[in-house]
Structure 1
């Protein structure tokens, strides 16, 4: 299964909703809290180009936020994205 990273905040209902969808699919993810940590939020903003949480990556693909995650689910594309094999570097 592809690595999933979610930047989130404990006080964000959209973060809770996004994590609920991932949990319901049995997806393990790395959660990075931006609460009280401006440097982490700045890193997320630099990587995502957005300041709102959640910001979600599946593998190297920036999915976006909660609405984007649910849109992938409604379109039937989320499972395939989650099942994609991680790309490995060859030297």
Structure 2
């Protein structure tokens, strides 16, 4: 099973798009971490990704990046293997 973590906020349209793209791939088990109300979770996201923007996506512990990075992986054919598809 693929482990996916999605750091997000509730108002981020790119977060929604990232979740939709993964859903189209049949991925429904996503560990969604809302960083809006927790400085600790925001700090964790920044420490793990080196970035301050959302979404930040991790697949099997590997930092993928944000939504644009996820789309590039998909368009380049590299996303399916990461997802085990």
Fold shared, TM-score > 0.5 on shorter chain: yes
| Corresponding residue number in structure 1 for 2:33 | 32
Consecutive unaligned residues of structure 2, counting only runs of 5 or more, are none
- RMSD over equivalenced CA pairs, Å: 1.1
Larger gyration radius, structure 1 or structure 2: 1
| Corresponding residue number in structure 1 for 2:49 | 48
Report the number of matched residues: 84
1:4, 1:29 → 2: CA distance? 5
Within a 5 Å distance, the mapping from 1:59-70 to structure 2 comes to: 59-70=60-71
- Would you identify which runs of 4 or more consecutive aligned residues in structure 1 move more than 2 Å? none
2:25, 2:57 → 1: CA distance? 15
**TM-score, normalising length: structure 1:** 0.88
